[in-house]
Each structure stands twice: as structure tokens, then as C-alpha cells.
Amino acid sequence: MNGNAIALHGVVQRFGAQTVLDGVELSIAAGERHALIGPNGAGKSTLFGVIAGAVRPTRGRVVLHGVELRGRGPVVASRLGIGRSFQQTSAFARLTVFDNLRCAALHAPAERRRWWNRLRESASVDLAAARVLHDIGLDAHRDTLAGELSYAEQRALDLGIALASGARTLLLDEPTAGMSRAQAARMIALIRATTQGRTVLLIEHDMDAVFGFAERITVLVRGTVVATGAPDAIRADPVVRAAYLGEGGA
């Protein structure tokens, strides 16, 4: 691992009189698998928005792969290597699975050219999309409309879109939400298999998934980081147990 993929320094986010993030400090090493957990309303999705450039923080610094974002928005964050999946699918329902992946690959950093050069890049875009299609296990659905996939398949496609974009750091917002235990386990295994060498920051309420996947975990409660550490340390932390884990619920 070389340096930090994400570094947040004193990040504060206010909406009117409400403070949603309160002095967040967070460092995530390049190549690290990191989970962000906390109760509903803790500010997790807002924090994702800040990292992805969609939300400009009221105060504080956001540094992505060594470059300060300075409130320049999601396009710049994407160019700095940030890819994001949402709680709801972001795929184009009326495009095929393959065309969704092509769209993402076309906008990967290596493929960002003037539009008249993009035709010459078509072969490399198709190759990148085909590779991701295979990696996420949707070869049989290459020509299926995204809107016709099962829910679990749509979530796999969302992951594929983030991968095809060429992102070095993936922000995955509750990728197993709404899945059965078996589906969730398969999804976590897919994320692990397809993100080798990339940084992953995961929001997740399934504690089995979190403790089985993450190398480090950060706990956010009422907009404040109350703990960061290895899974065993987080599981045993009395402050975390009192504030969030409680009787084992999430």
C-alpha cells in the first residue's frame, strides 16, 4: 500500500442549524478494505457524498489519492479515482447489461478523449466491458435489459459499473441491503474477488458481512467518529457496544 486513498481532516457538514458531520478525521490506506458503520442517521451517506464530491463540506479538508478536492465536485472526484454505488441501483434500466458497462468504461480515465477519438477507443472499451461482465458473473445476461435483472443481479451490475469506470477507490453504499443471508454472502465474496488491489469503503448494516470483509472499521455516531480499528478491536470496544452494537443488532 502506498499512501492514503482517502484522508479527511476536520470535516464538518451542516445543513442549516443541523450538524450532520462533526469534525470527522479518517484515513484509509490505498488498497485497504474499510467499513463504515453506525446507526441510521449517523451521517454515513452524507460522508460518502462529501468524499465523492457531491456534498461540499462546511469546513475541513478532503484529500483523495494525495490531491485535495477543495469542493470541486463529483467530476473531479471521479478523475481522482473515486467510484460510487448507491443504495438504489444506478444502472440504466432500458440499456442492456453490456451497454451499461460500456458507458462506464467509456468514461474511465484512460478513455476520456475528445468525442471524435472515442470511436478509435471502441475496441478497448468493449474489451474492458467484457472483462467486467465476466468478473461479475453476468455473461449470460450480456444482452438483457438492466431493468429485467433480479435485484441481486442489479446490485452486481452496480458493482460492475463502478469497476468499469476505472475507479481506484470504490464507495459502496449498503451493497447487500434487501438480500437474503446467502445472497449477501455471495455479494461480499464477489466484492472481495473483483476489487483486489483497489480501495473499498463500504457502508453496511450486516455485521457478519462487515466483520468478515473489512480490514479496518470506523464507527460513526451522530456525525462523530467514536472508534476506528481492526474488527476484533471494534467488536470488543465498550464504547462501540454501548453506542451501536448493543445486543448485536445493527
Q: Could you tell me which of 8, 14, 5, 13 has the C-alpha nearest to residue 61?
A: 8
Residues 129 and 25 in one domain: no
Residues 116 and 149 in one domain: yes
| Domain containing residue 111 | 91-167
**236 located within any domain:** yes
pLDDT at 90: 85
**71 located within any domain:** yes
CATH code, 202? 3.40.50.300
Residues 162 and 175 in one domain: no
What Cα–Cα distance (Å) separates residue 246 from each residue in 52, 197, 227, 242? 31, 34, 15, 5
Q: Could you tell me which of 98, 103, 89 has the C-alpha nearest to residue 144?
A: 98
pLDDT at 122: 75
pLDDT at 145: 98
Residues 162 and 120 in one domain: yes
Residues 54 and 104 in one domain: no
Whether 46 contacts 247, CB under 8 Å: no
pLDDT at 208: 87
Residues 73 and 176 in one domain: yes
Pick from 141, 167, 193: which residue ends a domain? Answer: 167
Pick from 138, 167, 196: which residue ends a domain? Answer: 167
Q: Is the dihedral of CA 89, 90, 94, 100 positive or negative?
A: negative
Mean pLDDT by 10 residues, the chain (250 residues): 88 97 98 95 96 97 96 92 89 96 80 51 85 97 98 96 94 94 94 97 92 95 95 90 57
pLDDT at 248: 44
Degrees, nearest 5: CA angle 4-6-10: 115
Residues 180 and 238 in one domain: yes
Residues 216 and 99 in one domain: no
Pick from 136, 167, 198: which residue ends a domain? Answer: 167
Residues 65 and 186 in one domain: yes
pLDDT at 89: 86
Whether 112 contacts 182, CB under 8 Å: no
- Give the 3-state secondary structure of residue 150: coil
Residues 177 and 162 in one domain: no
Amino acid at 250: A
Report the number of distinct structural domains present in the chain.
2
**121 located within any domain:** yes
pLDDT at 117: 57
Cell triple for 59: 469546513
CB under 8 Å to 51, separation ≥6 — which residues? Answer: 6, 8, 62, 64, 77, 82, 171, 201
pLDDT at 246: 57
pLDDT at 57: 97
